[in-house]
Amino acid sequence: MKNIQLGQSDLQVTPICLGTMTFGEQVSEAASHVILDRALERGINFLDTAEMYSVPAKAETFNVTEKILGNWFTANPGVRQKMVVATKVAGPARGMDWVRGGSLNLTPADIQEACEGSLRRLQTDVIDLYQIHWPVRHVPAFGIRYFDPSKDNPEMSSIHDQLDALGRLVKAGKVRAIGLSNETPYGVHEFVRLAEQHGLPRIATVQNPYCLINRTLENGLDETMHRLGVSLLAYSPLGFGLLTGKYDESGITGPKAPGQARIAKYDSVRQQRWGRPDALVAARKYNALAKQHGLTPTQMALAFCYTKWQVASTIIGVTSVAQLDEDLDAWGTTLSPELLKAIDDIRREIQDPAI
């Protein structure tokens, strides 16, 4: 696979990124290092993490994933220089009182302090891509379907203030490029507009969900990003496991459900968009379609992301080397025009149940 450029930055990354939010919760540090070794061996140069990780988020594992990565870099001299490392500053705490005391804001000082903490934990001098994990303002995300202007709070940090803080980190050499996550077309436009107006760094990426059961990106955000030269980092390409087929027979709860899988194991995850009954109904349709065309559900779901023009790099999350190899082996799988039409036919029927 050839490296691709992220936005208008100088970052060159593989079109598959290893996401690490399972490290420190489902995956031990030792096992995490084995997975990282294998990803490096197979040519992956792009890692994504966050100060909030592991997931599901809790006080006991806050910051742990970054520490695991930092320890891996230290144990393997020279490896850090081969990798492009992305991390994120958590947005408003959203019920997590261990994140900046549960603050509902994200101030410039918060961004500065969070970056310094990530640098220490990652045991590095610079973060290649620093992202705002979710917006400070109210947006339709994480299962919220509609924008509600009554929930706007003018006392929260403005986009300009956030961008200015990120700009200071870039100027200081602590961050190479910046990005957003869980964003909307408005947010992308505004970050770009203010960057151009005030001579501040331009966002290179947006990290949003994109998979067969959540294609809301294609409702306008994809055009915004294309025309503004911003790259998509697609997360949850397997719909939190629903698109692997492992829940097709058992469902996500009950005695036959795979107990160690995230959506089955963690109630907090199951209550989110991926745990909706209609999301599993939709996944079953796509999984059956894959098998009809001689593919595994995982192959089809990943190939959908790997081959779409909207996607710069697809973030895969794994709990074993076997899963990593399966996901990487799906690279190069092509989907016929007939299969793509059948995929679109299902979407017309069921829309985006895991929004």
Token digits of residue 108: 């410039």
Pairwise CA distance, residues 24 & 43, whole Å:
23
Pairwise CA distance, residues 53 & 257, whole Å:
25
Pairwise CA distance, residues 286 & 291, whole Å:
9
Catalytic residue among 53, 210, 235, 306: 53
Backbone angles phi, psi at 182, to 5 degrees: 55, 45
Pairwise CA distance, residues 48 & 71, whole Å:
15
Residue of 128, 95, 133 whose CA lies nearest to 111: 133
Pairwise CA distance, residues 20 & 316, whole Å:
8
Token digits of residue 145: 């379907």
Pairwise CA distance, residues 48 & 129, whole Å:
9
Cα of first residue to Cα of last residue in the chain, in angstroms, is 30
- The set of residues, in sequence order, having a beta carbon less than 8 Å from that of 33 and lying 6+ positions away, is 68, 71, 72, 75
Does residue 53 have an active-site annotation?
yes
Q: H or E segment at 88?
A: strand 84-89
Residues with a known catalytic role: 53
